[in-house]
Structure 1
Amino acid sequence: MPKLIIDHIAVEVPAGTSVLEAAKSVGIWIPHFCYHPALGSVGACRLCAVKLLDGPVKGIQMSCMLPAQDGMVVSTTDPEALKMRSLVIEWLMTNHPHDCPVCDEGGECLLQDYTVAGGHGIRRYEGKKRTHVNQDLGPYIQHEMNRCIQCYRCVRFYQEYAGGSDFGVLGSARRVYYGRFAEGALESPFSGNLVDICPTGVFTDKPARFRARYWDYEMAPSVCPWCSLGCNTVPAARYRELLKTIARENRAVNGPFLCDRGRFTTAPVNDPARPRTPLVDGEERSWDEALDALTLRLGELGDLYGPESLAVVGSSRLSLEGNILLARLAGLLGAGKLCYFVDGEEATRAIAAVSLFTGERSASMAEVRKSDCVVIFESDLRDEGPMMLLAVRQAWRNGAPVFLVGEHAPLEQTRTVAIEAIELSIIEEVPLAIFERPVIICGSRTHAADLEVLARAEAKIACLFSGPNAFGAGILAGEEGAVALAEAVAAGTVKGILAVEADIPEALLAGVPFVAAFDWQPTEAVRHAGIVLPTAAWVESAGTFVNYEGRAQRFDKAMAPGLPIRGLPARYHASPDKPAPFHPPRLPRHVPPGGELRPAWRILADLAERFGGDAAAELFTGRWEPLRKLDPESEGIRLGNEGE
């Protein structure tokens, strides 16, 4: 391992590490634009200049392009290095519009930071600036080409890393332009990463444009709920409205990137039609009144049909805390059916996958990226886990062949990320034995019987599910002896359903006399329910999800619940005849409209206490005990066969 000295600090790093990364490892930040850990070095911006005072190389060098070597003595504060970095910044700023006051990147802009840090306060250049015409790149990405500093990050990500072909670099010399041949929406399902990867304000989040500055946002570490991969995110909200989602790096899961579904799906949280107040028979009630009514009707249901006629239903999108409390509540109520899944095949498959592919048998996305053979079995990753498709591309870029097996593994998914794949009919045709690190990826269309076959293969398995906490629900379903709701209803014994964030089709609800629903989405169960208790969305509460590989990850509360200011009805304003939809209400309130939402687990705990449960009991005991002090900023805890 090379040993060198950087700013009088001795550093030892693995062979092949750049001087820039070596400096970063000891807390020394060297300014840079074009370098990105996921993209590597190209030496395009010339900003990371350092001075080599001694060793095998001397003089001014670009630290991102220079491998660390024994005997190097590096100075990042030498006057010559500082002067060069200052001149590079001044050169980059000659054509920059200086529009920080109206730029959405203001406050989180590297160009802004480095310009100020370099000591620039006055523009010396008085010539005419180069200007460009912006393009319409679709509903998600705002294009402001005049702010570009030609670092090439956007093209390198879009074409090389993500395999997109409809965006690139055009022109030459000082006329270089980053965009499309013709205006139109970007086709890559990962185009939103241009927002994060651009070090200036060329690409910004269009839905959140002009809505807030970085320091205005409510933010917290979170986990994406829109598939089972468990990508790490930072939701950003203001005025009780989720405005955008930022990728949060987790090297074991999503790396530094995020798919467009996870980044831009904000409408369900902001939907004015969300359940926001407790309802009893369609009329608004207080929380205590609604809980009293629910307690009374559960008792009446038990008296009329027996407690075994009640089905308590959780789901794969309910947090782990909620699903654990659901089982406790079912026991206190004497409920005849405890359900974590609606469909019988899905329940069987989840329980089988949890038992077969836990711990070392399950492949993380980081392991997929490093694998030397990838098999996509009966799965369309565009729908079931887009970031997994991006991980497959990284393996393919490193030389791993990609095989598509089964009728539900379409070739079009690999074409989306420019992968050359081999189509096969059965898994036995894949020569897994000749590879050292093969991975098989299967999806929710895989039957439980197929999982038994995959378990015998000499490969790690990435078995995707239908929801962010399906793995946790699968563990609990197996341990608690839960059944699928469809099977319970078909037996004809279910007369009441208590649905907690569960997506139940109308056909299963039609013949059930009593339905109560706890949810933050306007589902069929909510529409059929006699009693509705609104829950807080994942960004409005804290909890735990267990992703497809058994990795438990904590998410924190990122925003206060309540109706967004833009969605407030007229009655919340001082002048009902002239509502101001973009202005906070002028009527003072202790709690914002619709702001009394509670997490599902809290409602379950309150209800359990009414039936004799211990509200203060520790949730994470037994196999879940390692999760008690789980840090939301960590990579998570990967559960083993015994939950360790």
Structure 2
Amino acid sequence: MPKLIIDDIPVEVAPGTSVLEAARSVGITIPHFCYHPALAIAAACRLCAVKLLDGPVKGIQMSCALPAQDGMVVSTTDPEALKMRALVIEWLMLNHPHDCPVCDEGGECLLQDFTIAGGHSRRRYQGKKRTFQNQYLGEGIHHEMNRCIECYRCVRFYQDYAGGTDFGVMGSAGRVYFGRFQEGALESPFSGNLVDICPTGVFTDKTGRFRARYWDYQFAPSICQHCSVGCNTSPQNFQRETIKIVGRRNDQVNGWFICDRARFDKGYLNDPQRPREPRLDGATCGYDVAVDAAAKSIAEFVRNNGADKLALVGSTRLSLEGMIVLAQVAEAAGGAKVCYFDDAGLQQGSLAAAKLLHEENAAYVKDIEQAQWIALHALDLMEEGPMLALAVRKAFLAGAQIFLVAGDTLPACKALPFKYTSVETLDQVPFEGGGKGVIICGAGSKDPELLAEMASSGAKLVMLQPGPNGFAAALLTQQHAAGPLAELVAARQVQAVVCFEADVPQTLLSDLEVLANADWRRGAVEAKAPIFLPTTTWAESDGTAINYEGRAQRFERSRVAGLPLKGLDPKYYGSATEAVTLHPPRVHRKDVPGGAERDAWQVMAQLIERLGGEPVEPLTGKWRALKSLDPEGEGVRILEMGLGE
């Protein structure tokens, strides 16, 4: 363990740690642009200069590229180091446009921060600024090449880390250009990370351009709900609208980055046509009125037909809390059935995966990155778990063999950012030394015998679940002996359903009576239900999700429920009798327009009370340990805690 001194502070770090990271470990920030912990060292910006006063190396050095060594005495405040950093900043500002007032990066720009910190406040250069022509890079990213400081972060991420081939660096000397040979939409499904990784405003989120500054946003730690990987995100909200979604670091799940679907697929959160008001027989009503009507409808059905003919239906979109309380609603209804899956195949595969995984065979992301071979079995990786493709690529670059087992679709194979060998069956994959290998498959609709064969191979397992909270749905299915809705309907065991964020297909609905529906989506269930109760999306609620590896993670409410202020119907601006298009509203309101939504599990708790039951806090009993989960932490694997049993 190298021991060194930085600004008179003794520091001991792991071998291979850079001086920059060693300084950061004791709270000393050394300015830098090109350095990023996830990328290879470039030492291109020359801003991280420090002076080595004693030890094996002396003089001015770049701290990002200098490994810490025993006996080093480092000064980050030496006049020579300060002078060099000031000159680097001045040089970078020669051609930089002074467009901070209109730059979307303003407020979160490293160039702003370090220019001010370096004391550069007066322009001495009087020559003509170098200028570039921007490119169209798609609907998600805006390009402003004149702001570039040539740190090479973008190309190092896009080509080296993510495996993209349609974006790079061209030119030389003062004409270096970062872009495409011809303008057009970036092809990489991870291109949105250019927005986060650029230290200036060369790449900004076009979908939220000119909407707000960083200090205007409301945000909180959250979890992506597009697949079962459970990437950590931070939605940035302004005036009840999600403007941007950015990645949040979690080294155990997604590292520093997220996929473009997680970043840009957010329109449904802001959709003004989202169902936001409770309805009873097609007419808007108060929330309590709708809950009372739902409870009455359930009680009448149970009285006339028996509780065993009623099913409470959830889905993998529900939070863990919602899934737990759903079973309480069924009990309060006299012992109604519970369904977490509508499709029998999805439930079968999901349940089998949850039973087969344990602490020894469930793969961490690090296991994928360090594997010697990886088998991808019959899944569309870029659809079911795109961020894992970057982990597989890292293993591939380190020399791992990648096998693609027959069953994958050709378009998905073409998009994979690594080379692979196609094989017909798992028997052609070298299982020898199984602990050094990883099998990645989708658990949904898989034969349990096939999943068991994979588990017996000795390899580490990644079994991607159907839906963002499929693992939790499998655990609750097992705990309550729940059956798939399709089987119950086929056997005529169920005549009516109450749905909570459930996407029941039309083919099943034709044979069912829908008593009530609680959701934030429009769909066939919402259209058929006489009673509708609006619920909050993940951006407007608190909850817990369990990803494919059994990692429980908390997400927090990042904005209040309600219609976005932008584009608000004129009726909300004026008096009750006269609608005028004024902004801001001239009439103070106690209620948020369209803000009737409630968390799904809270709606369930109200139903339990109306049915004469006593709702129990969801995270109690075996789940109590998750109540204190840190939403900004790495989460906990429930397999380690014995909660998956």
Q: Compute the TM-score of the two structures, normalised by the length of structure 1.
A: 0.97
Counterpart residue type for residue 334 of structure 1: G
Q: Which residue of the partner structure matches residue 526 of structure 1?
A: 526
Q: Which residue of the partner structure matches residue 166 of structure 2?
A: 166
Q: Which residue of the partner structure matches residue 270 of structure 1?
A: 270
Q: Secondary structure at the match of 1:390?
A: helix
Equivalent residues in 2 for 1:344-423, closer than 5 Å: 344-407=344-407, 409-410=408-409, 412-413=411-412, 415-423=414-422
Q: Secondary structure at the match of 2:237?
A: strand
Counterpart residue type for residue 440 of structure 1: I
Q: Which residue of the partner structure matches residue 439 of structure 1?
A: 438
Q: Secondary structure at the match of 1:349?
A: helix
User: Could you report, residue by residue, the CA deviation over 1:35-60 in whole angstroms, capped at 9, with x for unpaired residues?
Assistant: 11010211100000000000111000
User: Could you report, residue by residue, the CA deviation over 1:554-581 in whole angstroms, capped at 9, with x for unpaired residues?
Assistant: 0000011111123422322329998649
Q: Secondary structure at the match of 1:275?
A: coil
CA distance in 2, matches of 1:159, 1:228: 26
Q: Which residue of the partner structure matches residue 613 of structure 1?
A: 613
Q: Secondary structure at the match of 1:432?
A: coil
CA distance in 2, matches of 1:526, 1:589: 29
Q: Which residue of the partner structure matches residue 69 of structure 1?
A: 69
Contact 2:299-2:611 at 8 Å conserved across structures: no
Measure how far apart 1:436 and its partner are: 4.7
2:79 is the counterpart of 1:54: no
Q: Which residue of the partner structure matches residue 425 of structure 2?
A: 426
Contact 1:545-1:553 at 8 Å conserved across structures: yes
Measure how far apart 1:355 and its partner are: 0.7
Contact 2:382-2:416 at 8 Å conserved across structures: no
Q: Which residue of the partner structure matches residue 241 of structure 2?
A: 241
CA distance in 1, matches of 2:277, 2:586: 21
Q: Which residue of the partner structure matches residue 457 of structure 2?
A: 457
2:639 is the counterpart of 1:640: yes
Q: Secondary structure at the match of 1:160?
A: helix
Measure how far apart 1:412 and its partner are: 4.7
User: Could you report, residue by residue, the CA deviation over 1:35-91 in whole angstroms, capped at 9, with x for unpaired residues?
Assistant: 110102111000000000001110000001111111111000000000000000000
Counterpart residue type for residue 487 of structure 2: E
CA distance in 2, matches of 1:365, 1:474: 22
CA distance in 2, matches of 1:435, 1:33: 41
Structure 1 window deviating more from structure 2 (477-486 vs 413-422): it is 413-422
Equivalent residues in 2 for 1:460-609, closer than 5 Å: 460-574=460-574, 580=581, 583-609=583-609
| Change beyond 3 A, Cα 1:176–1:464 | same
Structure 1 window deviating more from structure 2 (84-93 vs 390-399): it is 390-399
Counterpart residue type for residue 210 of structure 1: F
| Change beyond 3 A, Cα 1:497–1:249 | same
CA distance in 1, matches of 2:240, 2:82: 44
Contact 1:404-1:410 at 8 Å conserved across structures: no
Measure how far apart 1:115 and its partner are: 0.2
CA distance in 1, matches of 2:627, 2:514: 36
CA distance in 2, matches of 1:277, 1:418: 44
Structure 1 window deviating more from structure 2 (427-436 vs 498-507): it is 427-436
Aligned residue pair count: 641
2:8 is the counterpart of 1:19: no
Q: Secondary structure at the match of 1:515?
A: strand
- The runs of 5 or more residues in structure 2 that have no matched partner are none
- The runs of 5 or more residues in structure 1 that have no matched partner are none
Q: Which residue of the partner structure matches residue 231 of structure 2?
A: 231
CA distance in 1, matches of 2:118, 2:149: 16
2:331 is the counterpart of 1:331: yes
User: Could you report, residue by residue, the CA deviation over 1:516-568 in whole angstroms, capped at 9, with x for unpaired residues?
Assistant: 11101112211111111000111101000000110000000001111112342
Counterpart residue type for residue 428 of structure 1: D
Measure how far apart 1:388 and its partner are: 1.0
| Change beyond 3 A, Cα 1:572–1:242 | same
CA distance in 1, matches of 2:373, 2:61: 38
CA distance in 1, matches of 2:612, 2:626: 26
Contact 2:434-2:458 at 8 Å conserved across structures: no
Q: Secondary structure at the match of 2:532?
A: strand
CA distance in 2, matches of 1:432, 1:194: 38
Contact 1:51-1:76 at 8 Å conserved across structures: yes
Contact 2:390-2:417 at 8 Å conserved across structures: no
CA distance in 2, matches of 1:566, 1:629: 36
Q: Which residue of the partner structure matches residue 308 of structure 2?
A: 308
Measure how far apart 1:494 and its partner are: 1.8
Q: Secondary structure at the match of 2:383?
A: helix
Contact 1:275-1:522 at 8 Å conserved across structures: yes
Contact 2:363-2:438 at 8 Å conserved across structures: yes
User: Could you report, residue by residue, the CA deviation over 1:280-319 in whole angstroms, capped at 9, with x for unpaired residues?
Assistant: 1111010111111111111111122122111101111100
CA distance in 2, matches of 1:246, 1:330: 38
Contact 1:141-1:203 at 8 Å conserved across structures: yes
Q: Secondary structure at the match of 1:518?
A: strand
CA distance in 2, matches of 1:437, 1:400: 10
User: Could you report, residue by residue, the CA deviation over 1:444-464 in whole angstroms, capped at 9, with x for unpaired residues?
Assistant: 353322111111111110100
Structure 1 window deviating more from structure 2 (85-94 vs 292-301): it is 292-301
Q: Secondary structure at the match of 1:64?
A: helix
Structure 1 window deviating more from structure 2 (365-374 vs 120-129): it is 365-374
CA distance in 1, matches of 2:70, 2:130: 44
Measure how far apart 1:394 and its partner are: 1.1
Measure how far apart 1:498 and its partner are: 0.7
Counterpart residue type for residue 430 of structure 2: P
Q: Secondary structure at the match of 1:360?
A: coil
Q: Which residue of the partner structure matches residue 626 of structure 1?
A: 625
2:107 is the counterpart of 1:107: yes
Measure how far apart 1:495 and its partner are: 2.1
CA distance in 2, matches of 1:183, 1:525: 43
CA distance in 2, matches of 1:438, 1:64: 33
Q: Which residue of the partner structure matches residue 220 of structure 1?
A: 220
Counterpart residue type for residue 285 of structure 1: C
CA distance in 2, matches of 1:437, 1:490: 44
